[in-house]
Amino acid sequence: MNNHDTLVNNLSKIFGYGYTNIFSAINNVITEHNMSATQIKIIEYVLINGHAYPTELAEMLDVNKSAVTQVLKKLELKALIEVRENTLTDDKRSKLIYLTPEAKVILKRLTHEITVEVQKSIDHLRDNERSELSQATDVMMKHLLGGTINEKNFTI
C-alpha cells in the first residue's frame, strides 16, 4: 500500500471509530430531547449562521417550505428556536429563525460529550505522541472539511 492509500485507510478508521463513539455518546442527549436528524441539522445551521430564513433551510435540506414549517413548529414547541419577524425587510411575512438559550444548552451538552470522548481517546498518550498528534490535527484543520478554514467563527 502506498502512502496515499495508507493515509486514506488510517483516516477512514479514525473517522469511523470516532463517529461511532461520538454518536453513541451524544445519542442519549438527542433522544432525551426527542429530536430528529432534521431538527439537529436545522439547529446546527442556525448556530453556524446566527439565524436562518425558512426558505434557505428548505434549500439546505432539499425539501419544500411546508415541510420545514412543520419541523420549525416542533422546534418552537420544544422552545429550541424563536421565529421572529424579519425587521431587515418591509415584508411582514418574512421570518427569521433564531436559537433559544435552551437550544444552546443542548448544544453545549453535545459538545461536552464529544470532548469527553476525544479526551478518553488521547488520555493514554505520552507527551511526544500528543505533540505529534497536535501537529497532525493542525494540518487536518487547515485542509479537511470542518476545519477552521471551512467554518464561520461561532460560539455556543
CATH class of 3-124: mainly alpha
Q: Is the pLDDT of residue 12 over 90?
A: no
3-class DSSP string for the chain? CCHHHHHHHHHHHHHHHHHHHHHHHHHHHHHHCCCCHHHHHHHHHHHHHCCECHHHHHHHHCCCHHHHHHHHHHHHHCCCEEEEECCCCCCCCCEEEEECHHHHHHHHHHHHHHHHHHHHHHCCCCHHHHHHHHHHHHHHHHHCCCCHHHCCCCCC
pLDDT tens-place string over residues 99-119: 999 999 998 888 888 888 889
> What tens digit of pLDDT does each residue of 37-72 get?
899 899 989 998 999 999 999 999 999 999 999 999
Give the domain ranges of the chain: 3-124
